[in-house]
Amino acid sequence: MSEITIKKERRMQRVQRIRKRLRDNVNALRLSVFASNQAMYAQLINDTKGETVLSVSTKDLKDGNGTKTEQSAKLGTLFAQKAKEKKITDSLVFDKGRYKYHGRVKAFAQAAREGGLKF
């Protein structure tokens, strides 16, 4: 097998392992994060209904200045504000996907927690 195939398989195994743990919390909404080279996206997903309740991205930020980590922190604050407007503050599960809890993902999560979300 090529090295690329092995990397893809390991990535999929990580994602499946994380999602398996998250499936145990059936009543909780899933806060999913995706980080590309250009932007960062976050969604609040209701898995029982299969619908997206709330979504934001760094493209939604009015002030797009700063490093990617700073933008992710601003995104976490924005996400928490929008979730509070919809009266969603607890019963959330954080789905970091294939990413380590480090850098942009960590900055987003900490800012969302400081904004009032509990996960």
Residue 111's pLDDT is 97
CB 93 within 8 A of CB 27: no
Q: What is the pLDDT of residue 105?
A: 96
Burial status of residue 88 (CB atoms within 10 A of its CB: 0-12, 13-18, 19 or more): middle
In this predicted structure, what is the pLDDT of residue 69?
Answer: 95
Which has the closest alpha carbon to 30: 42, 17, 15, 14?
A: 42
Encode the chain (119 residues) as per-residue pLDDT tens digits. Answer: 788 899 999 889 988 888 787 777 778 899 999 999 999 999 999 988 889 999 999 998 988 789 999 999 999 999 999 999 999 988 888 988 888 899 999 999 999 999 999 98
Domains in the chain and their CATH numbers? 3-114 (3.30.420.100)
* The predicted structure's pLDDT at residue 119: 86
Question: What pLDDT score was predicted for residue 62?
Answer: 86
For residue 54, the model assigns a pLDDT of 95
CB 54 within 8 A of CB 80: no
Give tens-digit pLDDT for 86-98: 999 888 889 888 8
